[in-house]
Structure 1
Amino acid sequence: MLALRAGRAFDGEHSVAGPVTVITENGTIKAVEQGSPDVPGAEVVDLGTATVLPGLIDTHVHLGGDSELGALDRIPGYTSDELDAVIRTALERQLAAGVTTVRDLGDHQWSVIDQRDRHRQRVLGSGPPITSNQGHCWSMGGETTGEDELRQAVRERAERRVDVVKVMASGGFTTTGTAVSGCQFSEQELRVVVEEAHHHGLPVTAHAHSLDSVQRAVAAGVDGIEHCTCLTDKGIHVPVELMDAIAEADIVVCHTLGTVVAPPPQLQELWAKVGMSYARKVDTAGRMFDHGVKTVAGTDGGISAGKAHGIIGVSVADLVKGGVPNAGALAAATSQAAKALGVTKGVLKPGWDADIIAVQGDPMRDITALRSVTTVVIGGQIVTTTLPMDRRE
């Protein structure tokens, strides 16, 4: 049994005034109590004025990416041992940032899916994304042509026990020769993917940069949209009726915000050509949230130096920058993300998984406090902490 005493809490949905004590037993949360009650038989950890909150969830990562330029292109050339080392390093960086659950949305030849149960963190994944011939991320092994192949691709993913089916509805910035402003599949083809996936009890999330691809994905009935950039020949444009449709359909959107260094010159040049603006993307996230669109936090971590692993705090802060309230942004990386992924995490309440972090400061007042992680608990066990031993009884 473990008892964490802290200055305050964010329970995944609301702020909880302190002092507060979170009690865990057998891997789950037993109680969340205000004050500092005696907890016989428990290891008591005094976190001082820190804030406790659920372990963070990054809903969009690429664990096989080494967080350097050209990361995804290098993956097919790794040996098994090299790729395992990259994945371990990625998870260590995520752990240091307070991320206790990740969803990998694109691995090479099932490298993440096949090893997902050996890690401390909860790892969910899609396997190789379904893409068109020579389409975005084709080198991961998910190329398909025609409705029959699409159905077979979904069946294969069901047999591999993926957690979600990912389909590339548009091209991407990191695959040469693909059109980010175009579509890779017709609405009917996307509908085939959705129907087959739902038949197997699997959700579908669509990578979509162009406005047309977002509209097709919504019409096809996807459960989630990654990026949701809505590029047109005049730049980013999100029609009000599209936001209405996404909100009404309960489609979950991950804007993949968060970057720690400027994009390389070649990417900036491509952005300029298609009218892409990061500031506009941040603003769009806020507008869609205000419109009632369910929003989750995800970084696209691993694909480049700017999109490194462990930048979930930056991603959440960018949601706030776009106008999302602190509570909504924190929920995007905790309770809302957990609901989207179908896991019993993301909330501090009895019966839920005891994945908990502590941060210095109060992220409800200053969202940058989320980047000052001091303690990480997974399944009721402290896995990393900067606390001195005399703070533990």
Structure 2
Amino acid sequence: MTETVLGGVIDHHVHLGLVERDLLADSPVVEVHDLGWDPVAAQGFRANPPSGVDVHIVGPFHTAPGGYPTGRKWAPPSSVREIADAADAGVAVREAVTRMASGIKVTLHDDFANLSEEVLEVLVEEAHVDGLPVLVHAEGRGMVELALRVGADVLVHAPWTEPVPEGVLAASTQMTWISTLAIHAPSDQQVAIDNIVRFRALGGTVRYGTDMGNGPTPVGVNAEEIRALGRAGLHGEELIDAVTGGPPALSAPLPRPTNADELIRWLGAARRLPATIQEDE
């Protein structure tokens, strides 16, 4: 029987310290990006991943003294790296390089203290010198603009607190957005979807990410996230690329999915190819 082969699911935004990690073992999810946790624990996630899952880590949340998520019950104090000044920004990047982090996570939140534009620029510049992307949690008025001005590479949530102005949106296409749509209440989700629709129309790239661990999110494939991407206009190969984006790792005797519901059904019936077959491909 002819089979359809797609890459495994890549979740670009998870918090493994907040979920039952073993549930990911040998699932359709083949790669996860842990975007903020205690750096020693995160190194442990990478060294001892669930079976069949490639774990990437960024280490702690980088923020201003007292910045988000300082004081949140779900965030251990060791998961927050407060940056004192521009010199300390360079030190923080060196720490990330030593841990072999895949990027630098920065938080910007209009209800909390934020790093100055000068310090952010140094942090981004130092990260880029070492080939590390800067991934930003941008929440609230003016935070997307600030992330854009300092040269950040990724927004870890599609903006959901307000419509992004057209000029900012056009300039933002140099960044990648991670979806995380399903974590929001319906009204906030609709704002994020509308922003994605306009962002995509300008050539922007969106990647599947669930913020796994933020509330009662499923550990594994998040069907609601895929459906929300479909409502944002991602279909066919664009949707497949957003959700998988990797080398072939799964196989199922179904036609190639063309929309969100078909992709969800496909993943529900998918099986992993043996490693030797994957390598030959």
The TM-score, its normalising length taken from structure 1, stands at: 0.62
1:364 corresponds to which of 242, 255, 258: 258
Q: From the two aligned structures, give the one with the greater helix fraction.
A: 2
**Out of 75, 82, 85, which is 1:143 matched to?**
82
2:17 pairs, out of 27, 40, 64, with: 64
Q: 1:316 to 1:237 in 2, by over 3 A?
A: same
Aligned residue among 55, 62, 82 for 1:123: 55
Equivalent position to 1:88, from 22, 26, 30: 22
2:189 maps to 1:284: no
Aligned amino acid, residue 358 of structure 1: A
Match of 1:310 in 2: 220
- Offset at 1:191? 1.1
For residues 153 and 55 of structure 2, the distance between their equivalents in structure 1, rounded to whole angstroms, comes to 19
Q: Which amino acid aligns with 2:178?
A: C
Which of the pair has more CA radius of gyration? 1
Q: Indicate yes or no: 2:181 matched with 1:257.
A: yes
Q: Between 184-193 and 198-207, report the one with greater CA deviation.
A: 184-193
- Secondary structure at the aligned position of 1:169 is classed as strand
Distance in 1, matches of 2:276 and 2:191, equals 40
**Structure 1 residue 294: Cα displacement:** 1.1
More strand by share: 1
Q: Does 1:159 align with 2:98?
A: yes
Instruction: Say whether the 8 Å CA contact 1:57–1:297 is kept in structure 2.
Output: yes
The amino acid across from 2:89 in the alignment is L
Shift of 1:359: 7.2
Distance 1:196 1:164 in 2: 12
What is the rounded CA distance, in whole Å, between the counterparts of 1:222 and 1:194 in structure 2?
7
Cα distance change on mapping 1:245 and 1:125 into 2, 3 Å: same
Identical pairs, percent: 26
- The question of 1:241 aligning with 2:167 is answered yes
Could you tell me how far apart the structure 1 residues matched to 2:40 and 2:69 are? 14
* Superposed CA RMSD: 2.5
Gaps of 5+ in 1: 10-51, 67-85, 172-178, 336-345, 349-354, 383-393
Letter matched to residue 136 of structure 1: Y
CA distances 1:150-205 after superposition (whole Å, capped 9, x unpaired): 2211111111110111111226xxxxxxx2xx672232222111111112221111
Question: Once superposed, which parts of structure 1, at least 4 consecutive aligned residues long, lie more than 3 Å away?
Answer: 357-362, 377-382
Match of 1:343 in 2: none
Residues 1-393 of structure 1: pairs in structure 2 closer than 5 A? 6-7=2-3, 9=4, 52-66=5-19, 86-89=20-23, 91-92=24-25, 95-96=26-27, 98-119=28-49, 120-138=52-70, 139=77, 140-170=79-109, 179=111, 184-229=114-159, 231=161, 236-247=162-173, 249=174, 251-259=175-183, 277-305=188-216, 307-335=217-245, 346-348=246-248, 355-358=249-252, 362-365=256-259, 366-377=262-273, 379-380=275-276
